[in-house]
Amino acid sequence: MLAEYGVLQISAGIDVDKGKIIQPVRLTARGWFEGEHDRGLLEGVTNEVRSAIEGALREGNRDAESLNKVAQRAAGRLLGQKYRRQPVLLAAIVVL
């Protein structure tokens, strides 16, 4: 599965008291990155994940497990619907 679809790791740091992203959303792709075309794709996914996390934080969502799911769903939805890709998604949203 990894060889066919690739892997996308999503990471970010959240300040639980302020409810803000303090370490930027970063994506690391392995197994399907194809150069300049995919650079724009990764920027789009990064923006989508950032927006989803910010929305969850505005709603009062502060626990790491649910923020990880928010990030995975946002990335998966965009990649699946717009780009027709289904990499394995690994989210590591750290709540400090």
Containing structural domain, residue 41: 2-95
Q: Which residues pair with 13 in a beta bridge?
A: 23, 94
Placement of tokens 């400090």 in the chain = 96
Domain count, the chain: 1
Question: In angstroms, rounded to a whole number, what is the distance separating the alpha carbons of residues 52 and 49?
Answer: 5
The tens digit of pLDDT for each residue in 9-19 reads: 999 999 999 99
What CATH number has the domain bearing residue 49? 3.10.20.580
pTM for this prediction: 0.88
62 Cβ neighbours under 8 A, 6+ residues apart = 14, 16, 19, 95
Instruction: Write out pLDDT tens, residues 10-61.
Output: 999 999 999 999 999 999 888 766 666 667 888 999 999 999 999 999 999 9
